[in-house]
Amino acid sequence: MNELESSHMVDRNVELAEEILCLKRQRGAVILAHNYQRGEVQDLADFVGDSLELSQNASEIEAQVIVFCGVHFMAETAAILCPDKRVLLPDINAGCPMANMITAESLIAKKGEFPDATVVCYINSSADVKAESDVCCTSANAVKVIESLHTDKVLFVPDQYLGHYISTKIDKEMILWPGFCPTHVRILPEDIVYLKSEHPDAKVIVHPECRPEVIALADEVLSTGGMCGFAKQTDAKVIIVGTEVGIIRRLSKENPDKKFIAASQKAVCPNMKRITPEKTLWALQDMAPEVRVTEEIRVRAKRAVDKMLDIGRVDQELASLS
């Protein structure tokens, strides 16, 4: 892009942001955005966070309209939690390939093989799959949620790598579904080894969706929200970040004195990048595409999500007492 084109883009984004802000007020809407969203989309949002923070936020929000700048399962989780609100996903094709690696039918068949296992689903799953699960978790609370269960046997779906990571932290039998994130598997151990050799003092933080060989090389294994918290409190000046590249922008903006290096430039989630300011404006203009869940599925899926949120609340209450 030449200088003229890039200044035109800046002007267009400012124009779009003004239109979106105005329409957002008229509609009584809030914009929630995930940490992997494009920078210009994050800048439009009322709240930017990880899957857990976004679902907590959606469950507490007063606004009647939520524009969810993320992927389908995230908007669907908001629709599960807030049946009286309209949840808009600016591009209805922004899905999560990992979430699509399991269906309710295939989960029901697997449950038949392990009738005594407690079913824990990663939030990166459809409402239908959540409805077939006992409890949900995110990357931020997975170990805590599973530790708190009164069971020795867990059927964990759909992310085998998050499941494997949890199994190294707890003493329970874990049956793992063979799903994975096509973006995080692009981060290779050799990427970390090379960057560590270039920056020997750097800290390495990675997402638990990474391969076990990558996790083994990390100083910290964190959700995207956990990474934002770590970045603020660490003394390290250089941090190698093993997750989707979109998070680098927020980390750098919030910590201008530190250098953040993406572990791999190949770790791009094309679905997250489907959302643009223009599509966000159209969603507010058309009040569409809307994400809905049938009442029968919603009620059953909500049980699994509520159970996760309740475990988090008890944990927060205990922390405030100590």
138 touches which of ligand 13P, ligand SF4, none (CB within 5 to 8 A by kind)?
Answer: ligand 13P
Confirm or reject binding of residue 244 to ligand SF4 (CB under 6 A).
Answer: yes
Confirm or reject binding of residue 206 to ligand SF4 (CB under 6 A).
Answer: no
Task: Tell me, rounded to whole angstroms, the distance of Cα 200 from its chain centroid.
Answer: 30
d(CA 300, CA 33): 26
37 touches which of ligand 13P, ligand SF4, none (CB within 5 to 8 A by kind)?
Answer: none
From its phi and psi, is residue 4 left (phi > 0), alpha (psi between -120 and 50) or beta? alpha
Binders of ligand SF4 among residues 245 to 304 (CB under 6 A) are: 269, 271-272
**Residue 10 Cβ vs ligand 13P, minimum distance, rounded to whole Å:** 28
- Contacts of residue 39, defined as CB under 8 A and 6 or more positions apart, other chains included, come to 246, 249
224 touches which of ligand SF4, ligand 13P, none (CB within 5 to 8 A by kind)?
Answer: ligand 13P
Beta carbon nearer to ligand 13P, 205 or 281: 205
Confirm or reject binding of residue 214 to ligand SF4 (CB under 6 A).
Answer: no
Identity at 38, one-letter amino acid code? R
**Residue 315 Cβ vs ligand SF4, minimum distance, rounded to whole Å:** 24
3-state class of 309 per DSSP? helix
Confirm or reject binding of residue 223 to ligand 13P (CB under 6 A).
Answer: yes
Binding-site member from 224, 264, 271, 280 for ligand 13P (CB under 6 A): 224
Please tell me the chain's helix, strand, coil percentages from 3-state DSSP, rounded to the nearest 5.
Answer: 50, 15, 35
**Residue 83 Cβ vs ligand 13P, minimum distance, rounded to whole Å:** 23
- Closest by CA to 304, choosing from 126, 151, 170, is 126
- Look up residue 64 and give its DSSP letter: S
User: Six-digit token pair at 189?
Assistant: 């151990």
Confirm or reject binding of residue 271 to ligand 13P (CB under 6 A).
Answer: no
Binding-site member from 51, 126, 160, 264 for ligand 13P (CB under 6 A): 51
**Residue 19 Cβ vs ligand 13P, minimum distance, rounded to whole Å:** 28
User: By the 8 A CB rule, do 195 and 202 touch?
Assistant: yes
